[in-house]
Structure 1
Amino acid sequence: MTSEATNTVTDQATGPLAGLLNALADGAVEIVDLTNRLSSETPTLRLPEPFANLIDFSLETVSEYDEPGPFWKHQNIHTGEHIGTHIDAPAHWVTGRHSHDVADIPLPRLIGPAVVLDFTAEAAADPDFLLEVEHVRAWEKQHGPLPEGGWVLYRTGWDAFAQDREKFLNTDEDGSHTPGVSSECAQWLSETGIAGFGVETVGIDAGNAGALDPIFPVHYYLLGADKYGLTSLQNVSQLPTRGAMLIVAPLPIVGGTGSPARVLALVPRRS
Structure 2
Amino acid sequence: MQRIEFRKVIDLSHIISPDIPLWPGDPPVTFDEVASPEKDGYYLRRFAMGEHSATHMNAPNSFHPNAIGIDAYEPASLVRPAVVIDLRIQARDNPDYVIGIQDIEKWEQAHGRIDQGSVVLFYTGWQTLWDDPRRFINADDKGPHFPGIGAATTTFLLEQRRIAGVGIDTHGADPGQDTVYATNSQILANEGIVLECLTNLDQLPAKGTTLVIGVLRLKKGSGSPVSVMAFVP
Question: What TM-score comes out, normalization by structure 1 length?
Answer: 0.81
Q: Could you tell me whether the CA contact under 8 Å between 1:117 and 1:154 is conserved in 2?
A: yes
Alignment of 1:46-195 (within 5 A): 46=24, 53-67=25-39, 69=40, 71-94=41-64, 97-191=65-159, 192-195=161-164
SS at match of 1:237: helix
Separation of aligned partners in 2, 1:104 and 1:136: 30
Shift of 1:206: 1.1
Separation of aligned partners in 2, 1:107 and 1:144: 28
Q: Could you tell me whether the CA contact under 8 Å between 1:36 and 1:84 is conserved in 2?
A: yes
Equivalent position amino acid for 1:133 in 2 = I
SS at match of 1:59: strand
Separation of aligned partners in 2, 1:155 and 1:204: 11
5+ residue gaps, structure 1:
1-14, 47-52
Q: What is aligned with 1:10?
A: none
Q: CA RMSD in A?
A: 1.7
SS at match of 1:209: coil
Shift of 1:167: 0.8
Deviations 1:7-27 (A, max 9, x none): xxxxxxxx876xx6xx6xxxx
1:200 maps onto 2:172 in alignment: no
Given candidates 231, 248, 265, the residue that maps to 2:213 is 248
Shift of 1:152: 0.4
Q: Could you tell me whether the CA contact under 8 Å between 1:102 and 1:252 is conserved in 2?
A: yes
Shift of 1:236: 0.3
Shift of 1:179: 0.3
Separation of aligned partners in 2, 1:159 and 1:84: 12
Q: What is aligned with 1:257?
A: 222
Aligned residue pair count = 232
Separation of aligned partners in 1, 2:226 and 2:115: 22
Shift of 1:194: 1.5
5+ residue gaps, structure 2:
none
Equivalent position amino acid for 1:261 in 2 = V
Shift of 1:190: 3.1
Q: Could you tell me whether the CA contact under 8 Å between 2:169 and 2:196 is conserved in 1?
A: yes
1:228 maps onto 2:193 in alignment: yes
Q: Could you tell me whether the CA contact under 8 Å between 1:190 and 1:227 is conserved in 2?
A: no
Shift of 1:72: 0.4
Change (3 A) 1:147 1:98: farther
Equivalent position amino acid for 1:187 in 2 = T
Shift of 1:260: 0.4
Shift of 1:150: 2.0
Q: Could you tell me whether the CA contact under 8 Å between 2:119 and 2:193 is conserved in 1?
A: no
Shift of 1:134: 2.3
SS at match of 2:42: strand
Deviations 1:209-228 (A, max 9, x none): 11xxxx11111211112212
Q: Could you tell me whether the CA contact under 8 Å between 1:103 and 1:255 is conserved in 2?
A: yes
Equivalent position amino acid for 1:61 in 2 = E
Given candidates 1, 5, 10, the residue that maps to 1:32 is 10
Separation of aligned partners in 1, 2:74 and 2:105: 28
Greater RCO (Cα-Cα under 8 Å, separation 6 or more): 2
**Identity value in percent:** 29
Shift of 1:142: 2.3
Question: What TM-score comes out, normalization by structure 2 length?
Answer: 0.94
